[in-house]
Amino acid sequence: MRVYYEKPRTSLSWKGYIYDPNLNGLYNIELGLRNVRNLFLKLIKIQQPIAIEILNPLFSYYFNDLISWSSIGARTVSSQIHREIASNLSNPVGFKNSLDGNINNAFNAMLSAASTHKFLGINQNGKICTITSSGNIDSHIILRGAIMIDCNHSNSDKNDKNQIHVAESILRYLSDNHQLIIGLMLETTRTSPLAIWQANYVKKQLLCYYPYLSIKLLPIITSGDFNIRRIAAICKRDDPRDAIVSKFYTDIYSLPKKAIIGTSSVRRKFQLLALRPDLSVHPLRGNIHSRLNKLYQRDFHAIILAVAALKRLNINKKLYTPLTFSNMIPAMGQGAIMVQCRLKDSKILDLMHTINDKETEICINSERTIISHLATGCHIPIGVYAKIEQKNQIFIQTVVGSFNGSKVIRSEGKSDIKQAKTLSHKQYANFNYTTTSIWRKSRKNFTIVWKKSMASTINIFYTRQRFTSS
C-alpha cells in the first residue's frame, strides 16, 4: 500500500500530512511523526505492506523498521544524501528517472546505493551518529513520463481548465507508432480537502437516517453533464460570512495604507474597495491551503475567504475574523452544501429528502431568483443573502456595484416567508436598469448574461460529489 506522508513540490504548496497534520498552517511536525508511525503500526498489524517515498531523509529513520518498499523521486535521485540513505535500507528501493526523462542519474543512484558508505544519521536514541552502511543491492529504476502523460501542471500551464485541450492535442497526435503511451492523467480540484469534507458531511447525514446504507464517494472529473441532473437536497446552512485572514490584522480598517489583499472574487473586491479605496486587491486562486500558504509567505497583508470553508477545514480561529454583513454581503449560496442526483433517480431523491433543510432551501432559492435575473456566474460584482427571522419572516439583503467599488447600491427587504418569491422579484426589479448601466460603464466590452440554466447558477456552491447507495 502506497502511504505517502509528504509530497514533493515543484515550487511552494502544502507539503503533506506529516508537516501539517491539523491542516491549519501551524506545522506540528512532532504530532505528524507520531500519527504517521501509529498509522503504520496499525497497517502492519493487519499485515498490510507499506510503500513510501523518501523526501526528507530524517523522517526515514523513524519508519525504516515498518517499510516494505521505498522510492527516491525524480527531484532527489541525484542527491548524494538520498543515495546514502538507500544504501542502508533493509527494503528494496526504486529510483525514478529524472524530470527530463534521462535514466543515467537513476542508474548511477543504483550503483551508489549498492556500495558501502559512511555518513551522518540518527541512532535509536535519537542522537546524531556516524553510520556505516553495507550497501543495498535490491534496487531498480522506476520509469516515469513515458507511459502516462500528465495533462495538468506544466502541460496545462498550471490551469486545470486547459487539461481537456491538452488531452485532445495528445489524442490527435497518437498513432500506432506511439505504443509506449498507454494513457492520460487528468486531475480534478474537487478532490480538495474542502470538497472531501463536504462530501463526507453529506454521507454522515445520510447514515444518521439510513445506517444500513453502503455509500461510496466518487469524484467527478468533468462538468459537461449538468443537464441530466437535478437538485436532490440542500443541507442546513453553515456560517455564510466572509472573513479577513491575516497574521497581524483583525479587520479591514486596521490594514496599513495600500495594503495588498488577496482574492479573485469581484464581489469581494468591489465591497473591499468601497470601504477602503486605497487597498490593492490582487488575484488569488487555488484551494484553501494553497491560498493560506501564499499568506504565510507574506505575499499578502491579508486574504479573504469564506468562514464556512475555514471552519470545515479546522483552520486556527486566531488567524481569521468574520466580516459583518454591513461590510460584506456573501455570494449566493455561500455556506450551503447542495447535493445533486440523476434527473429520474427517484430512489436517491427519496433518500435525500431527509437531509434537506427547508429553511435553507427557501433562502437559497430566493437568492438564486435574484441572481438569475440580474446576472450569473462568479464574475459579477453582486452579493445577496437571505435569512429566516422569527420562523415566519424572510429578510433579504442585496448589494451591487461597479467593478472598482466607486458605486455601490444596497437593497433590503422583509416579508412573510410565504411571499419569499415575490420579495425576490421586487429586489431584482429595483436593480434592473441601474446595475446594467453601472456594469457597462465600469467594464468595457462586458456582456451581461441575464438568464442561464439553473445548473450553471447553482454551480457556485455545488459539491461535485456523486452519491450512490445499495
pLDDT digits (tens, 9 = 90+) for 354-363: 999 999 999 9
Same domain as 363, residue 454? yes
The pTM of this model reads 0.56
Length of the chain: 470
Q: pLDDT tens digits for 219-252?
A: 655 444 444 568 889 999 999 999 999 999 999 9
On whether residue 332 sits in a domain, the answer given is no
More confident residue, 178 or 219: 219
Q: Within this chain, do residues 34 and 136 fall inside the same structural domain, yes or no?
A: yes
CATH number at residue 368: 3.30.160.40
- Does residue 151 lie in a domain region? yes
Q: Which stretches of 210-253 are DSSP H helices?
A: none
Retrieve residue 341's grid coordinates: 442526483
Residues 124 and 152 in one domain: no
Same domain assignment for residues 60 and 126: yes
Residue 234 forms part of a structural domain: no
Residue 453 located in a structural domain: yes
3-state secondary structure of 289: helix
User: DSSP readout, 145-213?
Assistant: SSSEEE-SGGGGTT-GGGHHHHHHHHHHH--TT-TT--EEE---GGGSHHHHHHHHHHHHHHHHH-TT-
- Could you read off the pLDDT of 337-394 as tens digits, one per residue? 988 877 777 878 888 889 999 999 999 999 998 888 776 555 678 899 999 998 899 9
Does some domain include residue 338?
no
In this structure, the answer to whether residues 136 and 51 fall within a common structural domain is yes
Say how many domains are in the chain: 4
Mean pLDDT in residue range 15-27: 85
Range of the domain at 126: 29-142
| In-domain check, residue 1 | no
Q: From the CB of residue 41, how many other CB atoms can be counted at a distance below 10 Å?
A: 10
What CATH code is carried by the domain that includes residue 310?
3.40.190.10
Q: Is residue 428 part of a domain?
A: yes
Is 451 exposed, middle or buried (CB count within 10 Å of its CB: 0-12, 13-18, 19+)? Answer: exposed
